[in-house]
Structure 1
Amino acid sequence: MSLFSLSIDPLYIIIEELDPISLLHFCKSSRYIHRIVTKHSTLLYRYELALSGMKDGIASSYSPRARLDPLLGYKKGWLTLNWTAQDSLRIDTPTIVGVSGRFLYYASESPHPHAGLFQWSLHIYELRSYRTPRLDKLQYCKFNVPFEIRQVAIDAAQNLLVLAELRLSSQGAITATLHFLDMWICQQHPQAQNLHFHFQTDWWGTLPPGHRVSVERVQIYGIMVGLSVRREVEEGEGITELVLVNWHTGNGLPERFTGDLLSFDILSDSCLMVLSHPDEDDEDDSGGSPWEQSSDGLYLYEHGKRSPQITIHHIQDGRGLRSARVISYDFPESWKAISYLRICPNTSLKPNVAPPTGTFFHFDPSQRATVILVEFPSHSIPAGCSKKVALVMKESLFQPPSPGDKILSWEEWQDHCTVIHLPDDSEAHAFEVVGRKLVFFQSAGVVSRLHVLDFNDYAAECLRSIAPRSSTLSCNGEQDTTSQIFKAGATDFIGTSTSVQSVTWVNATEDAVVLYNEHEGKTDIRVRTFGNTLQPAAPSVP
């Protein structure tokens, strides 16, 4: 007996047992099944989850029918950059400002009650979301701290706030310090055995003119915190040092990484990704460095360079890295001259990290993208490349290494990677990754262009479902917003762009894009949130 000869009721029962991905594939193989699914909101919700690259949240008191409308609004909002709400904030230009998790933060120096002294104030704002039930009031905290904050990382699931500072001594070493705090009281976290971790860099003394030291990045994953510190010499040249810390114990892992171009991502509690531009004669797994310390600063050895390389290291129970378990991915041989190299951090949830309580749906962690930004010097752009390219691949490509060393050439893994040649007509800035979306903007005077590239496997189908006859769309009065289908190799992806007034930087979260504009000592912040408000709870079937 054919499955399609069954009456609607038993067929519906069979379809109802399918997971979202299987349901999507079933619908794509049969228009009849697709028609059945579109008439039942519970099935349609599951279908739309798979189509949008989303995953259902933890069991909710709201029915799939009630969650369907927020999901459809969320999908359309991102595809057309049509935001539901805009929250605005104007502040004095801060020392540091940004987004971590679902929180906006900024820190600035302010006068201390005692004359002649100063203190630093940290402000933390919870951002709105249409993927959760509406809250009566979003949380806000303000804390006074006795040091200048250089970086902020927040993990709300662990109530963890990590603040980074730099201590520059004219006599001793330059030291970066991490503070492990409870994010709601700004005191030592109850699970942290030590309040601080001090990372002594290889640099010391007073910085020569034109040199500067910065905390590049702080990343939290479970019990691990990654810290990278960079010393820049001139015209972008410099050196980066990387260390991993177990924040429960306050101990740093014995391995350190150093390189003039170096970036990292903690992929899981057992897997570290390090992106570097190694030397021809560098045999050190830690990445090595062409830089050497001298009494008057840093100087550069004239080493030959290989093409960039991704190295995956195995983390052993938060105690160290297994040097005998390494797998490396080489880039094209012609990419030896690199002026900029970075992993763009993905702000969506990683695998094995639970979403906030009450979340209806979230990006499928198994579909997360790793995006690497590569820029070439103007005089050494490889044939067929633009000056700046983005490499896009699924994060799941990079598995924890098995025992032994292994090196994959570009030819062996290039089919798992999509190379996007970014336009050269104007500067592109502030690259952010959310799930499988790449967000950035291009400077163009007073009016800039905000871009979202969507690499979801079914992004083109999603766009056709909301605009079947046209790829040109408009949103919220910005008349030149467009969404178009592009092709890179065998991959289709969506490029959406819109004009934005006066932007100097951009952040992105699962729910919003955050636009910053600095002018005349003030910073204007606009948070544009996507999605629909939740309708009253409804039965799970029509």
Structure 2
Amino acid sequence: MSLFSLSRELLLIILEELDPISLLHFCKSSRYIHIIVVNYSTLLYRYELALSGMKDGISSSYSPRARLDPLLHHRKGWLTLNWTSEDRLCITTPTIVGVSGRFLYHASESSYHGIFQWSLHIYELRSYRTPPVAKLQYCKFNLPFEIRKVAIDAVQNLLVLAELHFASQDGPITASLHFLDMWTCQQHPQAQNLRFQFQTDWWGTLPPGHRISIERVQIYGIMVGLSVRLGVEEGEGTTELVLVNWHTGIDQRQRFTGDLLSFDILSESCLMVLSHPDEDEDNDSGESAASTWERGPDGLYLHERGKRSPQITIHHIVDGRRLCSAQVISYDLPESWKAISFLQICPNTSLKPNVTPPAGTFFHSDPSQRATVILVEFPSHSIPARCSKKVALVMKESLFQPPSLGDRSLSWEEWQDHCTVIHLPDDSHAFEVVGRKLVFFQSVGEENFVADSRSRLHVLDLNDHAAECLRSIAPRSSTWSWNEKWATASKIFKAGAAEFIRTSTTQVQSITWVDATEDAVILYNERDGQTVIRVLTFGTPQHAPNVP
């Protein structure tokens, strides 16, 4: 008996058992099935989830029909760069400002009755993927130390603050992580120790032109990653990386060091390290065999070595407690990419697998479709053939799995078909990744004329079905333009066999930095001692629940 000879009622029962991806494939294989699906709101919602690269949230009092409209508005807003609301904040230029999770923060030093202290402000960002709330949360804390980095995990109520300690002439430079409850700013109840101290390889007073900075703090479950960089003039430097269990305050036995080094905790059992190894390094663990810096009478100096092409190494974290150096998979980048001036894993701000979304979330980016994006920049005099000065290497995060026992190394030729290389404008900056979207801005104004400076905001949508979604909005043209809040245009590009969308808005005032979440793009403009922050939120506001 043919499936299509079944009654419509039986077909609905079968279709209701399918997951969104299977339902999408079924609709693409049969026009009859597609007609049934688009006329049944529960099935249509699942179909549109898969088409948008999204996943359904935890069940709530909102029916699939009620969640369908926010989903479609959320998708169209990103594809056309038309936002529903804009929130502005103007502050005195802070020491640090940024976004972590669904929160915006800024911190600066101030004087209170002649005593200098640090103030940290935390703002909850608006979202149209959740039921409406009467008031967004806001916190302010006064702290006795200089804050260098902030990381927030609202699911665990965890606030991690990083600081640096510069010791005397004969002492080491250390970095500290504070494990705090994000609503009280006191020691987190699950943290056995308030603070973890990481002693770097650098001692004493830094010579002129040298600078220590905390590059990144990342939270994943019980693990916190910390990378600290010593930079010198002309972009040279070295980075140290350590993982710590924030419950126990104990770090991993293995640490990583490299001239150009970036990391991402893929899961509680899997760590990705991106580095630019030296020719004479031969360490099976993927850890740098020795520091590229040595101390001389006049300070630190770089020890020159020949370079290989960049390399991704995947390390197994055993039981979330320690790294097992005998379990490593290495992925080599192209042999012609030996000369690198900048190398970075762009952090993906969407939810990772096995991470629960905030209560009441209607839908969120499908964790199985998350993109890993590696940004590579070449020196102007050493750009490889058929490459631009800046390229983005894009692959699915699911490509990288925890290694089994023993080492394994893959050449570029063995895994290049799983990647997409996208050429970027030379003057592009501030790359952020959300799910399968890459957000950045391009400077297009005259550098010598501040009043005429402009920036162009770009979003690359790498969702497998993004082109189909865009065509459904405006099917008659290869380039779509909207003239609402700003002059925006969306166009379909091809990279190999894959299609992706580039959406840009051309009437954006000068931008100095960009952040992005699943709900919004956050633009920063630092000028004349002031920082103007604009939060552009996509979606549609919700009202009363629609109970099925």
Superposition TM-score, scaled by structure 2 size: 0.96
In the TM superposition, residue 376 of structure 1 has moved relative to its aligned partner by 0.4
Question: Where does 1:184-203 land on structure 2 (aligned, <5 Å)?
Answer: 184-203=183-202
What's 1:359 paired with? Answer: 361
What's 1:11 paired with? Answer: 11
Give the secondary structure class of the aligned counterpart of 1:472.
Answer: strand
2:220 counterpart of 1:221 = yes
What's 1:370 paired with? Answer: 372
What's 1:476 paired with? Answer: 484
Question: Where does 1:58-207 land on structure 2 (aligned, <5 Å)?
Answer: 58-113=58-113, 115=114, 117-171=115-169, 172-207=171-206
In the TM superposition, residue 538 of structure 1 has moved relative to its aligned partner by 3.5
CA RMSD of aligned residues (A): 1.1
In 1, the alpha carbon distance for the partners of 2:103 and 2:33 equals: 42
2:528 counterpart of 1:529 = no
In the TM superposition, residue 36 of structure 1 has moved relative to its aligned partner by 1.2
Q: Which amino acid aligns with 1:17?
A: E
In the TM superposition, residue 19 of structure 1 has moved relative to its aligned partner by 1.1
Q: Deviations over 1:227-266 (max 9, x none)?
A: 0000101111101000001100111111110001000000
In 1, the alpha carbon distance for the partners of 2:534 and 2:547 equals: 37
Q: Which runs of 5+ in 1 are unaligned?
A: none
Give the secondary structure class of the aligned counterpart of 1:245.
Answer: strand
In 2, the alpha carbon distance for the partners of 1:47 and 1:199 equals: 48
Which segments of structure 1 move beyond 4 Å, counting only runs of 4 or more?
none
CA contact (8 A) 1:66 1:536 kept: no
In 2, the alpha carbon distance for the partners of 1:450 and 1:139 equals: 28
In 2, the alpha carbon distance for the partners of 1:211 and 1:428 equals: 26
In 2, the alpha carbon distance for the partners of 1:406 and 1:147 equals: 44
Q: Which amino acid aligns with 2:257?
A: T
Q: Which amino acid aligns with 1:378?
A: S
In the TM superposition, residue 147 of structure 1 has moved relative to its aligned partner by 0.7
In 1, the alpha carbon distance for the partners of 2:475 and 2:489 equals: 14
Give the secondary structure class of the aligned counterpart of 2:232.
Answer: strand
What's 1:511 paired with? Answer: 519
2:266 counterpart of 1:264 = no
In the TM superposition, residue 299 of structure 1 has moved relative to its aligned partner by 1.5
In the TM superposition, residue 423 of structure 1 has moved relative to its aligned partner by 2.1
CA contact (8 A) 2:207 2:300 kept: no
In 2, the alpha carbon distance for the partners of 1:57 and 1:294 equals: 57
In 2, the alpha carbon distance for the partners of 1:357 and 1:140 equals: 18
2:462 counterpart of 1:462 = no
CA contact (8 A) 1:276 1:287 kept: no
What's 2:450 paired with? Answer: none
Q: Deviations over 1:191-219 (max 9, x none)?
A: 00000001111111111111111000000
**Residue of 325, 340, 345 corresponding to 2:342:** 340
In the TM superposition, residue 318 of structure 1 has moved relative to its aligned partner by 2.6
What's 1:431 paired with? Answer: 431
Q: Which moved more, 1:135-144 or 1:1-10?
A: 1-10
Structure 1 residues 475 and 529, CA, compared in 2 at 3 Å: closer, same or farther?
Answer: farther
In 1, the alpha carbon distance for the partners of 2:523 and 2:181 equals: 28
Percent of matched pairs sharing the same residue: 79
Q: Which moved more, 1:459-468 or 1:342-351?
A: 459-468
In 2, the alpha carbon distance for the partners of 1:366 and 1:138 equals: 30
Structure 1 residues 7 and 221, CA, compared in 2 at 3 Å: closer, same or farther?
Answer: same
In 2, the alpha carbon distance for the partners of 1:323 and 1:222 equals: 21
Q: Which amino acid aligns with 1:333?
A: E
Q: Which amino acid aligns with 1:308?
A: P
**Residue of 490, 501, 504 corresponding to 1:497:** 504
In 1, the alpha carbon distance for the partners of 2:166 and 2:292 equals: 24
In the TM superposition, residue 295 of structure 1 has moved relative to its aligned partner by 4.3
Give the secondary structure class of the aligned counterpart of 1:254.
Answer: coil
Superposition TM-score, scaled by structure 1 size: 0.97
